[in-house]
Amino acid sequence: MWSSKDVYYLSDSTGILVETLGRALLCHFPGISFNEETISFISSKEQAETILATIMEQSSGLQPIIFSTIMDPEVQNIFDFGEVEFFDVLSAHLDRLENTLEVKALRAPGYAHQPTDEVMDARVEAIHFCLAHDDGTNPKEYDNADIIILGVSRAGKTPVSVYLATHMGLKAANLPLTEEYLSQNRLPDYIVNNKERAIGITARPEVLHAIRQRRMPDSKYASLATCRQELGQALQLYLQHDIPYISSSGKSIEELAAQICQELGVGRK
């Protein structure tokens, strides 16, 4: 078994799609260390030849893995030779779909990343809403939110709110569960009245302690005891008001966003 492997994501566009597809496959091999590099906007045979020479030099001929979404077959073929492990992650599926749908595929570079005006308008509106309703701001407008995220300080509310807005076009607000709510074991009316769109975030106390420790070392705020107490009080509030909750520990922002949407039955806009 390989202990490590060089991996290259090649694209004639931004490289976001090939990275996502390649990493979705590689994550099933946790025992191997992958040295990853993304090379975007490859548009000519000459450019491809130069890139291939660099890849072979960097990898010392040790069969690097190449994932590619390059649409131009002449450019693509330069990377498909015996000294690399080459994966064309789109063409085989497009060929099959062409046969199924009885029509030729567009095969245009970067087309998947060209949203319509309607999608862009919705996304911009969601981003503005997210920024205007971060960290408990403008709570009287929570009736207009698609998702309301609750959680103690540093549990991960803001990053996932921003992701929901920028990548999924969802109006996400977030409210920190401060001492005011935790000590009195209550939620404000604007949350209770909108609890069908609310979700709580929790975390392992040790993880929250480590995050807070970096922000305010050796403070009461960062202490493990405080983290345990606040997370326990937050959990009581979620259970008391029948608000679903998920843990942010060990999850990427993408995973958290997907879980939140699944729990609340909310789809991408």
For 205-251, what is each residue's pLDDT tens digit?
A: 999 999 999 999 999 999 999 999 999 999 999 999 999 999 999 88
Could you read off the pLDDT of 31-51 as tens digits, one per residue? 999 999 999 999 999 999 999
10 Cβ contact partners less than 8 Å away, ≥ 6 residues apart: 18, 39, 42, 51, 66, 67, 68, 69, 70, 79
Nearest in space to 144 (alpha carbons), one of 184, 164, 172, 123: 172
Nearest in space to 171 (alpha carbons), one of 193, 194, 144, 196: 144
Query: pTM above the 0.85 mark?
Result: no
Q: Which two tokens stand for residue 91?
A: 């063409």
pLDDT score for 178: 95
**Domains, the chain:** 4-113 (3.40.50), 117-264 (3.40.50)
Q: What percent of the chain is modeled with pLDDT above 90?
A: 74
